[in-house]
Amino acid sequence: MSGNLSFRVIIVGGGIIGLTTACTLLKEYASADNLQLTIMSETFSPETTGDVSGGFWEPYGLDLNDPRILNWAGYTYDIYMAEYFSTKAARAGVMKLPGYIIKSDDDQKTNNENNFVNPPFLSLVRHFRVLNNTEIRMFDHLGPASGFVMSSVVTEMRRYLPELQRFLEQDPRVKFIKRKVSSLNELEGEADVVINCSGLGARNLVGDLTVRPARGQVRSIDYLLIC
């Protein structure tokens, strides 16, 4: 990205994927004054899908034997940990919490998870241990089960997304445009690179019918002290 010519990048999507992609580009090309970064989306926080999601770090649903997945997961984990120990953690809603991951033996057999308590991402986390029998007995309703606890990060998205946007707005190379993009072909001639960060919107944007929403629940419970 050398020379005096500007290099135009459009990110389609103003949710967690789009904003973190923008932050990564600014980090990688910190000295590139000729970068022009546009974040284009029909909606921004607090009206994105990400605003109502629970940002819990745990690699799952992917091929964890793929080194690319582990590299991405580790990169994300290190960023969130650094943010947790920064002065902006409370403002951005970043919390470090123990994550208890438990599965019944039947579920493990169904999913062919023969090594469930020794996941490939073990080396990425700061603290990890297998749950002992006393802890497992708290989940007798699952039947025979096993599990582990690890240090993970939870981000409160309704705080985190506005904080990312404030950070990006401080960079003169970045601009936000509220615009619905129905096809990537619309952007021909407007950018040198277009990055699709539309998330669930990719189903309609690029006709990817394999994209579908997944339902989850976030519950707040009292802290349990296990002796």
Q: Domain locations in the chain?
A: 7-205
Place of tokens 């073990």: 122
What's the Rg (C-alpha) of the chain? 20
Sheet of strand 193-196: strand arrangement = 174-178, 35-41, 7-12, 193-196
Span 191-206, average pLDDT: 92
Helix (H, G, I), strand (E, B) or coil at 185: helix
Q: What percent of the chain has pLDDT over 90?
A: 56
Position 223 confidence tier, pLDDT thresholds 50, 70, 90: low
Name residue 129's amino acid: R
Is 90 exceeded by the pLDDT of residue 141?
A: no
DSSP 23: H
pLDDT in tens, 63-118: 888 999 999 999 999 999 999 999 999 999 999 989 888 988 888 888 777 778 88
Nearest CA-CA partner of 197 in 41, 46, 51, 27? 41
Average pLDDT over residues 28-36: 91
Region 162-176: what's the mean pLDDT?
A: 95
Residues 160, 93: contact at Cβ < 8 Å?
Answer: yes
pTM of the full structure: 0.83
- Computed from CA positions of residues 186, 189, 190, 194, in that sequence, does the dihedral angle turn out positive or negative? positive
Domain 7-205's class?
alpha beta
Q: What is the pLDDT of residue 227?
A: 46
